[in-house]
Homo-oligomer: A and B are copies of this chain.
């Protein structure tokens, strides 16, 4: 199992990326980790850590895609960037999966360009998992595709449902459509057309889901277009952080609340962990012909380590083969709409 890690991507690259990769290499001994990026810089980081596990190697890529670079353009111009080279390793079969905390748009563009989409898939989608009161809810797409058509959303439902089934062992995952009301006729043209596609599919469709219902566990998978999904992802991050900070600040107002907060520390630690993207490490880009794990730009060593573990798990589950087969089951529908 070979994992290509974009060593130059992310706010804390290459330091934390290299550190996380070394941790993962020590933990997952049957994985070979290929650090893709500037050889000298990576070697320097490895020297600082003072240990280079045998299952770590370096693949030199001198260029870096900056966070401000336009996605598609940078992929075409910077053909020797760590992102493009990582994707190429996957495309050539020299790696089984990739992990990147770099420019999300560039990673999606490079993956779509070099790996192509899976048979039948129109657009790849990013699947994020939000903790609910009853487990997790997978929301797709979180920003890969902001020009969605009903068929794209339908296929997101199939792909995420497949991940829930084969990776999380949920027998018949429920799929909902993010909408602004429960009634069938609610929403804009995109969601109304998607509603009828989902309702007439073999998926376990539970209808429209309002955003407040995500946390009630109304569906295992909630489908939405990338702009809305991205807003949700970042809003969840912002509001959780803001709420916890407000609680902490208000607790400082009196001795008794300060003491109360001290006693409640374990709760807040567990809550923080639940909401911490570093715990999840990364999220899969579903629909491309390869395993791609996209990490938060702020990823630290622990996040990278968890992302590599997730990549190994996804690759071992052969999730893409299952996605193709599930999409084929609804092949007639796909052809009809296309």
Q: Which A residues fall within an 8 A CB radius of B?
A: 68, 70, 132-133, 143, 146-147, 178, 180, 183, 185, 187-188, 210-216, 224, 226-228, 230-232, 234-243, 245-247, 250-251, 254, 256-257, 259-268, 270-271, 274
A70–B185 CB distance below 8 A: yes
- Residues B262 and A242 in contact, CB atoms below 8 Å apart: no
In the complex, are the beta carbons of B260 and A234 less than 8 A apart? no
Question: How many chain copies does the complex carry?
Answer: 2
A239 touches B240 (CB 8 A): yes
Q: How far is the CB of A77 from chain B (nearest CB, A)?
A: 16
| Chain B residue nearest in CB terms to A259 | B263
Give every chain B residue within 8 A of A245 (Cβ-Cβ): 133
B246 touches A256 (CB 8 A): no
18 contacts between A and B (CB under 8 A): A133-B242, A133-B245, A146-B188, A147-B188, A180-B234, A211-B232, A211-B238, A212-B241, A213-B238, A214-B238, A215-B238, A231-B231, A235-B235, A247-B267, A250-B266, A251-B264, A257-B263, A259-B260
Distance between Cα atoms of A9 and B5 in the complex (Å): 57
Interface pair A271/B246, CB less than 8 Å apart: yes
Contact yes or no, A211 B231, CB < 8 A: yes
CA–CA, A226 and B303, complex, Å? 35
The answer to whether A270 and B243 touch (CB under 8 A), given A231-B211, A235-B235, A260-B262, is no
Interchain CB contact under 8 A, A247 and B271: yes
Q: How far is the CB of A20 from chain B (nearest CB, A)?
A: 23
Question: Which chain B residues border A133 with CB–CB below 8 Å?
Answer: 242, 245-246
Residue of B nearest to A250 (CB): B267
B231 touching A180 by the CB < 8 A rule?
yes
Nearest residue, chain B, Cβ from A260: B263
Least Cβ–Cβ distance between A192 and chain B, in angstroms: 11
Are the CB atoms of B263 and A256 closer together than 8 Å?
yes
**A117, chain B: closest CB distance, angstroms:** 21
6 other contacts beyond A133-B242, A133-B246, with CB at 8 A cut-off? A146-B188, A147-B188, A211-B238, A212-B238, A236-B239, A257-B263
Q: For A237, what are the chain B residues with a Cβ–Cβ distance below 8 Å?
A: 212
> Inside 8 A of A270's CB, which chain B residues have their CB?
250
Residue of B nearest to A275 (CB): B243
- List B contacts of A68 (CB < 8 A): 183
Please indicate the chain B residues that have their CB under 8 angstroms from the CB of A247 in the complex: 264, 267-268, 271
Contacts of A213 in B (CB 8 A): 238
> Which residue on chain B has the smallest CB distance to residue A246?
B271
**Are B264 and A241 touching (Cβ within 8 A)?**
no
Partner of A146 from B180, B227, B250, B259 at Cβ < 8 Å: B180
Q: Which residues of chain B are within 8 angstroms of A254 by Cβ–Cβ distance?
A: 266
